[in-house]
Amino acid sequence: MNKDDLLYPRSRYYGQVKPENLVFNANLQEFAQRIGYICGLETSGKISPEEAYQQIRDLWKQLKLAKKELGIGENPFSNDDGKLEEGSGE
């Protein structure tokens, strides 16, 4: 087993398969993994609560930016081919 596979496990993606969804899912899994490490470091006294908070806040900003850049959730009424679904009001 590769050490990266052990330290940074990835779960299979079951959502709608689109490139931006796959990239965002990878970013989300990395975010969750890093949050877990930060929580462990704070709980064991290796970093202060303020440092943990700041690191988590920075990670959240990065995830939020990635979501915006990938256009996730920008048009929730479009289907796979980019057309608006019936009854969306547009």
Per-residue pLDDT reduced to its tens digit, 50-77:
999 999 999 999 999 999 999 998 875 6
Per-residue pLDDT reduced to its tens digit, 17-60:
899 999 999 999 999 999 999 999 999 999 999 999 999 999 99
* C-alpha dihedral (41, 44, 50, 52), degrees to nearest 10: 20
Residues 6+ apart with CB under 8 A from 55: 38, 47
Looking at the predicted structure, is the pLDDT value of residue 7 above 60? Answer: yes
- Token pair 């440092």 in the structure block, residue: 51
Domain boundaries, the chain: 16-69
DSSP 2: -
pLDDT band at 82 (very low <50, low <70, confident <90, very high): low
- The predicted structure's pLDDT at residue 84: 55
